[in-house]
A and B are shown apart, each in its own frame.
Chain A
Amino acid sequence: MISNDDNDTIKGFAAAVNSRLAAEIRVTRAKSFGWLCAGAAIGFCLAGLGCAIAFLGYSHVASVRPAAELIGKALVSALQQTKMKATVSGRMSLSPDSELKLAAGQSVLVSEGAIVKLDPSSSVRIIGNLRVDMPQPSKEQLQLEATSKSDELVFTNYTMFRNVSYEKGHVVTGWHYDLSDTSRPKSQTCYYAESIESGLSRG
């Protein structure tokens, strides 16, 4: 037989066990809820971070300015490092009545062998000395040290002769140069010469 006291003790013990179990259950539920919340938070954070990265990447793709800047920089860099060599060939023709003017300080170089024609009605004004392409005696041909047999004082000069056929003879023009100034003749002569018989001539 169980006495009333014993019965009360058992009931008390059962109540304590129930209470303890209920407390354990609440603790376990609380922990599981905490873990659930933490997992959700981590999940949300990761999802947010992924979305942020995705949006950033998309913004770089979708935005016009960064792409244009990149392309522009790439082009500038490529052009700076590129050496361009171009050859232009062809022929430029001007209409016969066209006129060309040179800007101040510019010059035109005519290639060797090229022929430049002047308008027959044009006039050319030359400032400075004009040297006609004529043969000039060389130092060896002048022989300034040459003397006569009698060792007299020798004076040297030279004359350019131009012979032009005229009638039965020639018109001869002589440009007489002194060695002191060979840029222009000191005097000039012109005469007509015709051979009238062997060994004689008249001028």
Chain B
Amino acid sequence: MITNFTVFKRVPFENGHVMTGWVFLTSAQKAPTSQYCYYTENAEASGLDVVLDIAQDQKIEKPKTMPKGFDMLAAFNRCVWFRSERS
């Protein structure tokens, strides 16, 4: 069994939220093992959560199919990245 924890930073964006996850394996880690950022929106009609990957480890990801009118750069700017001591 593998145990880890992820600190989530949530920022409201359009009809949903931009979520940034900082993945840690231990409490002693000075910086996260990895970071990811995605947009999520609850589709009330279907009851399903729509998830759109935005970035991984501060690098923007461009999905093959982009929702119409979705501002990827604005969403990316709402990602909250971990600030290490060096930065």
Residues of A within 8 A of B (CB): 134-138, 140-143, 146-150, 152-164
Contact = CB atoms under 8 A, between A and B. Distances in A.
A2 B50 CA distance: 190
14 contacts: A141-B24, A141-B27, A146-B9, A146-B83, A148-B9, A150-B11, A153-B11, A155-B9, A159-B6, A161-B3, A161-B6, A162-B2, A163-B4, A164-B1
A136 B9 contact: no
Nearest to A145: B83
B7 A137 contact: yes
B87 to A, nearest CB: 11
A153 B7 CA distance: 16
A154 B8 CA distance: 10
A186 to B, nearest CB: 12
Contacts of B46: none
Given A143-B7, A146-B81, 10 more contacts: A134-B3, A135-B4, A137-B5, A138-B27, A141-B22, A149-B79, A158-B7, A161-B3, A161-B6, A162-B1
